[in-house]
Amino acid sequence: MIIKVLVADDHALIRKGLKQILDDTSDIRVTGEAETGMQAITMARDNKYDMALLDITLPDKHGIDVLRQLKLQCPGLPILILSMHPDEQYAMRSIRAGAAGYMNKQSAPSQLVTAIRQVASGRKYISSTLAEQLANDLAKDSPQEVSHQILSNREYQTLCLMASGKSLSEMADIMSLSAKTVSVYRARMLEKMGFKNNAAAVRYALNHHLIE
């Protein structure tokens, strides 16, 4: 049986690389490619796939928002998040939103193949790093430890990019938004978290290992 995969990533080279890796297997084929979140949602609704590989950073919608919409419209479609971001940033949010697994794009090709087979069979794929993070989160009972979970995906992305040292214009480019819109997300994030300034937000992100 061939596992039919939908790949949603805005970089053509990434899609081509994934296709080459999977074409070398006997049982996995990329049968759909989407460049945007809305395109992925439309294709998943109109075609039959056994699972989807979804990037977090898409030009029109945040990947986790796309994930949530896919779970509503195609509840039986297993989704594996494939991202350049480290597990600490988006893995937990992805799993909570309904993803069947989360992988870093730097993972070995053999690991990707294993994850796809696992997810397509109805099981979850969790790396050892994510398993440790899940265990640590279960052991925490302080509300402050999970306070960043109240942020929207865009607010959380803003926090992580700020902590990575990105300027407002750089954040706008990465998020495919205007600098004014990013400023709004930053203000909301600071207000929700109770931070008086950007430095306090950066300290929080570093203390909670939200960036590498």
The string of pLDDT tens digits covering residues 167-208 is 999 999 888 889 999 999 999 999 988 888 999 999 888 887
What range defines the domain where residue 168 resides?
143-207
Statement to judge: residues 152 and 106 lie in one domain: no
pLDDT for residue 146 is more than 80: no
Taking residues 83-90, what's their average pLDDT?
73
Statement to judge: residues 9 and 47 lie in one domain: yes
| Boundary (domain end) residue, out of 134, 160, 180 | 134
pLDDT for residue 88 is more than 70: no
CA 116 to chain centre: 16
Is residue 170 situated within a structural domain? yes
Provide the pLDDT confidence category of residue 138 given band limits of 50, 70 and 90.
Answer: low
Determine contact, residues 54/66, Cβ cutoff 8 Å.
Answer: yes
Please tell me the distance from the alpha carbon of residue 137 to that of residue 58, in angstroms, as a whole number: 28
Say what the pLDDT of residue 144 is: 44
Please tell me the distance from the alpha carbon of residue 89 to that of residue 147, in angstroms, as a whole number: 14
Q: Considering its fold, how many domains does the chain have in total? A: 2
Q: Which position has the token pair 């214009």?
A: 169
pLDDT for residue 212 is more than 90: no
Provide the pLDDT confidence category of residue 91 given band limits of 50, 70 and 90.
Answer: confident
Say what the pLDDT of residue 86 is: 66
Statement to judge: residues 94 and 52 lie in one domain: yes
pLDDT for residue 133 is more than 70: no
Statement to judge: residues 64 and 152 lie in one domain: no
Helix boundaries (H) for the chain:
12-23, 37-46, 63-73, 87-96, 109-120, 128-139, 153-163, 168-175, 179-193, 198-207
Say what the pLDDT of residue 208 is: 77
Greater model confidence, 131 or 187: 187
Statement to judge: residues 178 and 111 lie in one domain: no
